[in-house]
Homo-oligomer: A and B are copies of this chain.
Amino acid sequence: MLKPITKKMDLLETSLSLFVDQGIQKTSMAQISKKSGVAVGTIYHHFKSKEELIEGVYLYILDDLGKHIAFKEDEIVLDFKERFSLLWMKGFNYYIKYPNRFRFHDTYSYSPLIPNSLREYARAFYQTAFDFVEEGISKKILIDTHPVLIMRWLYNSLATIIQIKLDNEFGVTDKMVSTTLEMTWQSLTYKTEE
């Protein structure tokens, strides 16, 4: 009963890995078939087309990311800054744990290969994070600017340090990670004194 789910997951993981390494279009269905050990015809039982497979990968990552960063019950009670740091670190840890997923998001989120309809879906998906941001603004903890700006700023702040870590140009220390988090916090909150 779990077989089909596993096979679908296998396909998603294999595709993700090939997409990230070679680019989506340079990855042929035959290649995915070969690497995953699933016959070409069988892939088409699970995904109607290559496009649907790409979307599948996109949604799969989005969905899983959502599960990982959602606040648990005991976390909801934390104060805003604590939850802010927690959210950021959860995102960070998730992407570091699954580098391919980060690469995929970072490369294809704005590419023409991802239909706009999916991006709409993603927006809805980020609602929790959105609510969190609006809570910060209304509590006058976060600066008063457009929530979308803050959302993107958050993602890009994460992306900055993760890109560096994955590029592996030099060792990224925990210090640098916490510095980046601090930079993000500093940039989004009011300075109390001159």
Residues of A within 8 A of B (CB): 20-26, 103, 106-107, 110-113, 143, 145-146, 148-149, 152-153, 156-157, 159-161, 163-164, 169-170, 176, 179-180, 182-184, 186-188, 190-191
Residue of B nearest to A184 (CB): B187
Contact among B21, B152, B183 with A153 in the assembled complex (CB-CB below 8 Å) = B183
Who on chain B is nearest to A186 by CB?
B190
Closest beta carbon of chain B to A147's beta carbon, Å: 11
Interface-central residue, A112, A143, A146, A183, by most chain B CB under 10 Å:
A183
Q: In terms of DSSP, what is the predominant structure of the interface of chain A?
A: helix
- The chain B residue sitting closest to A193, CB to CB, is B191
- Minimum CB–CB distance from A45 to chain B (whole Å) comes to 11
Instruction: Tell me the nearest residue of chain B to A158, going by C-beta.
Output: B156
**A187 — which chain B residues lie within 8 A by C-beta?**
183-184, 186-187
B113, A110: Cβ atoms under 8 Å?
no
User: What 4 new A-B contacts, CB under 8 Å, besides A149-B176, A186-B190, A187-B187?
Assistant: A23-B113, A25-B26, A145-B176, A186-B191
CB of A146 within 8 A of CB of B111, answer no
Task: State A146–B164 Cα separation when bound (angstroms).
Answer: 10
Complex interface: chain B residues within 8 A of A152 (CB): 160, 163-164
Nearest chain B CB to A61 CB, angstrom units:
17
Nearest CB of B to A81, in Å: 14
By beta carbon, the residue of chain B nearest A188 is: B183
Q: Which of these, B20, B156, B163, B179, contacts A157 with CB under 8 Å?
A: B156
For A20, list chain B residues within 8 Å (CB): 112
